[in-house]
Amino acid sequence: METTFIPYTFYVESTPNPASLKFVANKLLIENGATAGYTSSKDAEGAPLIKKLFEFPFVKQLFVAQNYITVTKADFISWDEIMIELRLFITEYLNKGGQLINELPKQTVAVDSSFSKKETVFTEHNAPQNDTENKIIEILEQYIRPAVEQDGGLIVFKSFKDGVVTVQMKGACSGCPSSKMTLKSGIEGLLKRLLPDEVQEVVSEAC
C-alpha cells in the first residue's frame, strides 16, 4: 500500500536568545533522538538543506533536533525582514523532495556503566573517562537536555577536572543573554545537588 505524502508545514517559535528562532515542523525531521549542530557550510557535508541555508548571508548557526530547526542570525538584520523568507524556503525545499540531512555527524561516546565506546548520533558529549563523568552525562541527558532543547539549544559535556565541569552550549543557547543564568542557577545547581562530593563548579566553553 502506497504511503500518502504529508506536506511539511512550519511555524516559528521564539527562544530565550533574541538572535535565534525555532522553525517547528508538523512532523519529525530527525529520528531516534538525534541532534546536529552546524556553525558553517564547511560543517554541513551530508546535509543539503543546511548547506543551502548557509548561503543566506545572515545565517550564523543552525541546530536541528526532533521536529525543529533553530536558526541563529547575524546582528545586522532583524527577524521581521527574514523570518517569512526563511520559513517559506525551508518548507518549499523539503516539499519538493530536498533532503535535510543525508548523514548525521557521528560522535564516539559512552553513556553507560560499561564505558564501552560506541558510535552514536544523538549526542556530542565527549566520552566519559570514569564513573563521575558518566554520571554527569546521564544527568545532562535526563534532566537538562529536554529543557534546553525546548528552547532550541543543546548542552554538551566537554570535560571534568578538579571539581569543575566544562560544557559547551550550542544552538539558541550559544550567545543567549540568559545562558549564564541557566548555566549557574540551573545546570550547576542541579549537578552540585546530585553530585555534592564531586562537582564544585560548571563553566562554559565557547563554540
Q: Name the domain boundary from 68, 95, 122.
A: 95
Sign, CA dihedral 184-34-72-170, equals positive
Q: Is there a single domain that holds both residue 123 and residue 152?
A: yes
User: What is residue 114's predicted lDDT score, i.e. its pLDDT?
Assistant: 41
User: What is residue 185's predicted lDDT score, i.e. its pLDDT?
Assistant: 66
Instruction: Identify whether 101 is part of a domain.
Output: no
Q: What string of pLDDT tens digits covers the 207 residues of the chain? A: 556 788 999 999 888 788 889 999 999 998 777 778 888 888 888 899 999 999 999 999 898 888 899 999 999 999 999 999 999 999 999 999 999 988 876 553 444 444 444 433 345 677 888 889 989 988 888 888 777 777 677 788 888 999 999 988 776 555 555 556 666 667 888 888 899 999 998 888 765
Neighbours of 103 (CB within 10 A): 11
Q: Is there a single domain that holds both residue 138 and residue 174?
A: yes
Cα–Cα distance, 21 to 80 (Å, whole number): 12
End-to-end CA distance of the chain: 46
Q: Is there a single domain that holds both residue 112 and residue 193?
A: yes
User: What is residue 178's predicted lDDT score, i.e. its pLDDT?
Assistant: 55
Cα–Cα distance, 159 to 22 (Å, whole number): 29
Coil, helix or strand for 149? helix
Number of structural domains (the chain) is: 2
Q: Is there a single domain that holds both residue 111 and residue 201?
A: yes
pTM over cut 0.95: no
Cα–Cα distance, 132 to 120 (Å, whole number): 21
Q: Is there a single domain that holds both residue 52 and residue 116?
A: no
Asked if 119 and 101 touch (Cβ cutoff 8 Å), the reply is no
Kindly report the CATH number assigned to the domain that includes residue 50: 3.30.1370.70
Neighbours of 188 (CB within 10 A): 18
Q: Is there a single domain that holds both residue 115 and residue 198?
A: yes
Element of type H or E holding 91: helix 79-95
Residue 4 is classified by DSSP as P
Q: Is there a single domain that holds both residue 85 and residue 133?
A: no
Strands 164-171, 201-205: pairing is: parallel
